[in-house]
Amino acid sequence: MWKSRNPLDRQVMVITGASSGIGLETARRAARKGAKVVLAARNGEALARIRREIEAEGGEALDVVADVGDRAQVQRIADQAVGRFGRIDTWVNDAGLSIFGRLEEVSEADNQRLFQTNFWGVVNGSLVAAPYLKRSGGVLINLGSVASDIAFPLQGMYCASKHAIKGFTDAFRIELEEEGAGVAVTLIKPAAIDTPFARNAKNYTPHAPKLPPPVYRTEEVAHAILHAAVHPRRDIYVGGGGRLMSLAKELAPRAFDLAGRTMSAQQQTDQPARDRAGALYEPSRSGGEVAGGHPGHVMRTSLYTRASLHPLTTAAVVAGIGLAAAGLIGARQDGSR
């Protein structure tokens, strides 16, 4: 457990992927709490609108157009942030994309582009941010996923990129601690979140994609990120359903594999595919949207996540989830027999 950092109204926060979804909701909430926010994404028009919105509410913001897959462009984010606000206290690596399609069908170029954004974007952001965070004793927050722990069909390369993010983040944390750098490193692992994620993904399937349940509101992830910026944690799962799946996979990996075969259908609607290209190579034409319009039920809050952020309740919550995971695996094994 790291010591608490400055309250948000005394922080400069850089957020990549800030033009929509989790990044946008985090930026808005941080600005309302008094943080100076640096908004980074590929969609310059959306960023400018968001900056003006924040300023109209009395906040301070800077927008920087950048592709996180390019190290030089990420360095420009840092340079402009320090040039405007003098320091960086928290850096949030949120930018990410997905591809819906079977691994044998997705092109090598598309897979490489996904990794350039998802994985190398986190690597670039982390390594560029590190010198500034060492000076401020700041916080690095990387967005992984429950897919950092588990895997499922139709988004295989997305899962691979999130596994890679976990490996990099864990190794970088150890190196920073070995150095005595004073930088806290948090990995956020959301379950499925109702953002424009599915709409922005490249789609190889004949159907419009959707997220597998349970699905949670974007606000839950933003809440966890802002908590970590002040009270850093090693890992934060957003959504008890995601944590349950992660533990179930640990307890009975083969049973989880067999159960996972149902997830292809859970990721496709009965509507025909529309914009197959998504935002893999070009930024979304809309931007500025937090919610994705998930067609099913969206959980308003995660009691598991809210409770786990408080040290006195964490052990009890984790124990309860562990028992639930064991029960889930047992029920599935009984059913298979």
Which helix (H) or strand (E) segment is 28 a member of? helix 21-32
Nearest of 209, 170, 210, 208 to residue 189 by alpha carbon: 170
Record the pTM.
0.91
Rounded-to-integer distance, Cα 261 and Cα 259, Å: 5
- Angle at alpha carbon of residue 61, lines to 239 and 73, rounded to 5°: 85
Per-residue model confidence (pLDDT) at position 258: 85
**Would the pLDDT of 319 be above 70?**
no
Per-residue model confidence (pLDDT) at position 333: 43
Per-residue model confidence (pLDDT) at position 256: 83
Per-residue model confidence (pLDDT) at position 332: 43
Nearest of 226, 41, 68, 216 to residue 146 by alpha carbon: 216
Secondary structure (H, E, C), 124-150: HHHHHHHHHHHHHCCEEEEECCHHHCC
Per-residue model confidence (pLDDT) at position 320: 53
Q: Are 266 and 205 in contact (CB under 8 A)?
A: no
Radius of gyration (Cα) for the chain, nearest Å?
19
227: left (phi over 0), alpha (psi -120 to 50) or beta: alpha
Q: Tell me what the mean pLDDT of segment 72-89 comes to.
A: 98
**Residues annotated catalytic, as ranges:** 158
Per-residue model confidence (pLDDT) at position 87: 98
Per-residue model confidence (pLDDT) at position 172: 98
Q: Tell me what the mean pLDDT of segment 2-13 comes to.
A: 95
Q: What digits encode the pLDDT tens for the residues 177-224?
A: 999 999 999 999 999 999 999 999 999 999 999 999 999 999 999 999
What is the band of 248 on the pLDDT scale with cuts at 50, 70, 90? Answer: confident
Please state, for a pLDDT cut of 90, what percent of the chain lies above it.
79
Per-residue model confidence (pLDDT) at position 337: 42
**Would the pLDDT of 41 be above 70?**
yes
Nearest of 93, 90, 100 to residue 36 by alpha carbon: 90
Listed in sequence order, the residues at least 6 apart from 282 whose beta carbon sits closer than 8 Å to its beta carbon are 42
Q: What digits encode the pLDDT tens for the residues 216-239?
A: 999 999 999 999 999 999 999 999
Q: Tell me what the mean pLDDT of segment 113-139 comes to.
A: 98
**Would the pLDDT of 334 be above 80?**
no
Spell out the domain ranges in the chain.
Answer: 8-301, 311-336
- Residue 101's beta-bridge partner residues? 155
Q: Tell me what the mean pLDDT of segment 64-74 comes to.
A: 98
Its CATH architecture, for the domain 8-301, is 3-Layer(aba) Sandwich (3.40)
Q: What digits encode the pLDDT tens for the residues 259-294?
A: 778 899 999 999 999 889 999 999 987 789 999 999
Handedness of CA 326, 327, 332, 334 (dihedral sign): positive
Handedness of CA 275, 278, 282, 284 (dihedral sign): positive
Q: Are 192 and 211 in contact (CB under 8 A)?
A: yes
Per the prediction, the chain carries an average pLDDT of 92
Q: Tell me what the mean pLDDT of segment 105-122 comes to.
A: 98
What is the band of 84 on the pLDDT scale with cuts at 50, 70, 90? Answer: very high
Q: Tell me what the mean pLDDT of segment 23-31 comes to.
A: 98
Q: What digits encode the pLDDT tens for the residues 164-180?
A: 999 999 999 999 999 99
Per-residue model confidence (pLDDT) at position 311: 64
**Would the pLDDT of 322 be above 90?**
no
Per-residue model confidence (pLDDT) at position 146: 96
Per-residue model confidence (pLDDT) at position 336: 41
Per-residue model confidence (pLDDT) at position 285: 76
